[in-house]
Structure 1
Amino acid sequence: MDYVPELKATVAAIGREYKRLAAWFRAFPEADWKKPTCCTEWNAAKVVGHLAMGGAFFASSVRNALKGSQALPLGAKDQPDFMRIREEMAQEIAELSPAALVERFELNTGDVYGLFSTLKPEDFDRPTWHRRGTFPVRRLVVSRLNELLLHEWDIRNEAERPMTQEPLPLAAGNLRQHFQLFYEMDPVPGLAGTFAFRLTDGKKWAMRVEDRKAVDLGPGEHKADAAFSATGSDMLLLSTGRGSVEGRRKEGRFRVEGDEAKASAIIPKLFFPL
């Protein structure tokens, strides 16, 4: 499946969004940095510190991939060492002065954006290390845009407020890649079926799962065993554990049609906190 047009558009959106967010962060009054967010254990400074750390993490992983290496990023020796480095770096950045915090966010995100901008089509499928498993580089591209949009939503701290950013349709459409990659990370033994995804304000696509593998069937309408429908905002929020699928079903904001047993089997593999 050729994802290059969407990935190029995603890289361009990252460039616009991180600059917009940096300008927004610079306008924060001092007190806003200590305000709670939808990331319940983090204030705004910790969310932005996490974003800045993520830029360094992704840049290191991608540079390794471009050298043909799946080594752990940031010089880590093993996964526990990486998690320690990750947490210490995010905390150190979060404790900076507001001006220095925004500068570090802009520096690290600008670095990974510049790196993404140099990728050739064949680079997007190079394998790279991630704490959840081995993913192609394109997964990090998709994730970076998601993180910018989702963490802005977290900082605004209005749990019932939909996401409305300009690149939201692109990010929600990128779930076509996200769901296939994350399903294969933890597949349902014995599950076989076709699942359709319908963004009520955007794209439609389907995925076939069988023998612990997932195959993207491409955009458009597809005959499916089960179909999931929601707005792009709700689908993206739910895919990262921001809200309950069951709760959104009761509210009529997430619809399931077709084989309930197959739908119930796959939902926990696609909609969970990241």
Structure 2
Amino acid sequence: MWIVLALVLGSVGPDGTSGCQLPHDWRPQTEACRAELAEIIVFAKVLALHKESYSVYNYLPWQHDTDLLFSAEIELLCDQAWGSMLEVPAGSRFNVSGLGYFPCFSYSVIQNNNYYFFLRMDENYNLIPHGVNFQDPIFSDTADNHRMFASLFQFSNCTPGTQVHTFSPEWEAQEDSQLLCSSVQKALFEEEERVRALSLKVRSLEKANDHLREKVKTMKRLLRQAQRETTKERQTLSLKQLYEPKIESHPGQDTTQDQKNSPLKKKLKN
């Protein structure tokens, strides 16, 4: 699963840009949660692999002559798991398309091995892997996977030699004592929405605060400019008063007597 996730996150397109981007609010889900959302769940053996030169799920011209795309012929080892949409008995055979090595992920199986499959049916009624939440829909034949799926679904009428843990009331009680996945997911989504709303409010307040700061800066700049202009005007007025000649006139002063006694008039009289 984590290999597939690394391919999804790290793939790069032919033009050098990232070709596979998960949604910004993506969160990993447990297999139990994803099993609730998977349309079809089967435990089957891979009988044969068939090369596909073209796939509607991954069209790249340079892949026509490669072995990157294939389908698998599988045989159900148990009756269809309870809770799935496809009801077929053990021993049924059908093809699973859409397997191979894709730009963003890989859906790969090996012939003669057993797997649990999350499947869905496309618009052309082909069975294809159901990568719920962009995670791996194919699980190997291991004891841990047997226990996990047996605790979620009741497999019955398995073919002889098939080792699948039978459904146990103890596991049922253990599952019942836990919160339902849908409730947990709903709570998580509600919390994420609340956090997102708070983040938007914080960003809005930050923008308003920045606007007020700019307004204060503008007012301070205008105030400093007005103070400089006032100081300049005062200095100009002081210099003007200092250097301009002062003409003083005393009231009641007789200027005619001075004119009569002036030297120039004495000369004119002589």
TM tier, shorter chain?
under 0.3
CA radius of gyration, larger in = 2
Give TM-score, length-normalised by structure 2: 0.20
More helix by share: 1
Give TM-score, length-normalised by structure 1: 0.20
